[in-house]
Amino acid sequence: MMDWVGNIGLIETHTPQHIILIRLLIAAVLGAMIGFEREMSHGGAGLRTHILIAVAAALFTLLAFEIFHLSEVVGSGRADPIRAVEAVTAGIAFLGAGAIFRLRGNVQGLTTGAGMWLAGALGVASALGYYVVGFTVAIFAVVVLAALRAFAHQIVGREKKGD
């Protein structure tokens, strides 16, 4: 029965497959936490975008470490997982920069871009198994995004009324 699996090119992973799936699922949940808040505040990138960014970052990180372990087994030892994490960061920065624009002298989308960047970091944290850190940062981010938005609107609202 298992011969057909080998025949289609499936290779054993260093990290057990069920752990990989759990890490990807946790990345999706953490990305959803940020994305849901952005969706509720009508940010430029919402729930689906943040989930996809977090899961993609987690997958790239998992693949980088699998490649690293495979190169150790093969004996080349030249794979560097940090370079893959840097590439993930650069790709997410590119997406985040695309969310930022100027409109009538105002810069918009900075918070959306920062949320996208954070979703990527949460994906990397999930891929590495840092679940507690990821959940703590995601909760902190939601509090910052939601609570400080309300606080900022109160301060800005008062200043505008005084004009």
Is 48 a member of any domain?
yes
pTM: 0.75
**Residue ranges making up the domain that contains 122:** 15-162
CA distances from 144 to 34, 37, 51, 111, 137 (A): 11, 10, 19, 11, 10
Please provide residue 45's backbone torsions phi and psi, each rounded to the nearest 5 degrees. -115, 130
Is 5 a member of any domain?
no
Tell me the per-residue pLDDT of 10-50, one tens digit each, with 9 for 90 and over. Answer: 778 888 989 999 999 999 999 999 999 888 877 777 889 89
Task: Please tell me the predicted confidence (pLDDT) of residue 7.
Answer: 63
**CB-count exposure of residue 13 (10 Å: 0-12, 13-18, 19+):** middle
Is 3 a member of any domain?
no
Is 9 a member of any domain?
no
Q: What's the 3-state SS for 71-124? A: HHHHCCCCCCHHHHHHHHHHHHHHHHHHHCEEECCEEECHHHHHHHHHHHHHHH
Is 1 a member of any domain?
no
Q: How far apart are CA 128 and CA 81, in angstroms?
A: 11
Is 58 a member of any domain?
yes
* Closest CA relative to residue 141, chosen from 108, 112, 115, 113: 115
Tell me the per-residue pLDDT of 136-152, one tens digit each, with 9 for 90 and over. Answer: 999 999 998 888 777 77
Report the number of distinct structural domains present in the chain.
1
Tell me the per-residue pLDDT of 57-101, one tens digit each, with 9 for 90 and over. Answer: 999 889 888 888 877 666 666 667 788 788 888 888 888 777 777
